[in-house]
Amino acid sequence: MANIEVIDYEGSTGRLHEIYDDLIAKRGKLAGVHTIQSLRPESIVKHIELYMEIMFSRSELSRAKREMLAVIVSISNNCEYCQLHHASALNHYWKAENKLTQLKTDFELADIDEQELALCRYAKIVTIDPGKANNENLTEPLKVAGLSDSAILDATLVISYFNFVNRIVLSLGVESSDEEIEGYKY
């Protein structure tokens, strides 16, 4: 249950109702991460703009790799809501439940390539020990794995974004249900 007041679709009016209708039209449904921001409707709009830029814009990183990073960050932060949402999105691309389970259990043993493994390691370090970058170049293993500076920037943006969102979700008590996970437009 949310720790702050949330205006649901039925209770929304004016600009908030317009934003909700737009989200439903574009994404298929509303998510708790959107409705938790209902007291500041324009923050929902800006949030979606940032999300779309980071997760859907042109990038050397595939959509699957970006969703994989979201899952690793969310696991590292113990954010069940984002784990569920983005594991579902990742499996939309992978279509391999066993591989996804491996990734979530121990990505070091998962059936992923060296570049994906380097990205997962980077995501975990940047999430749990971001200050480590003060003492060592955390991007070098990514470069060795064949990632360009542009791809490294994109990975860092995804990782940073999901750390931001995980904190909103965890702090404000956003909960997920099985029915909320399904039905999104990818």
Q: What is the pLDDT of residues 55-100, one digit of tens each?
A: 999 999 999 999 999 999 999 999 999 999 999 999 999 999 999 9
Residue 33 in any domain: the answer is: no
Residue 68 in any domain: the answer is: yes
pLDDT > 90 in the chain, percent: 87
Confidence category of residue 176, pLDDT binned at 50, 70, 90? confident
pTM for the whole structure: 0.92
The residue ranking higher by pLDDT, 78 or 185, is 78
Q: What is the pLDDT of residue 135?
A: 86
Tokens of 16: 């908030």
Confidence category of residue 174, pLDDT binned at 50, 70, 90? very high
Residue 132 in any domain: the answer is: yes
Q: What is the pLDDT of residue 179?
A: 61
Long-range Cβ contacts of 79-82 (<8 Å, 24+ apart): 79/166, 79/169, 79/170, 80/176, 81/32, 81/33, 81/169, 81/174, 81/175, 81/176, 82/33, 82/162, 82/165, 82/166, 82/169
Number of domains in the chain: 1
Residue 73 in any domain: the answer is: yes
Q: What is the mean pLDDT of residues 125-140?
A: 92
Confidence category of residue 36, pLDDT binned at 50, 70, 90? very high
Residue 32 in any domain: the answer is: no
Residue 2 in any domain: the answer is: no
Q: What is the pLDDT of residue 29?
A: 87
pLDDT in tens, 62-72: 999 999 999 99
Confidence category of residue 134, pLDDT binned at 50, 70, 90? confident
> Where residue 121 sits, what CATH number does that domain have?
1.20.1290.10
C-alpha of 44 from chain center: 15
Residue 121 structural domain: 63-172
Q: What is the pLDDT of residue 146?
A: 98
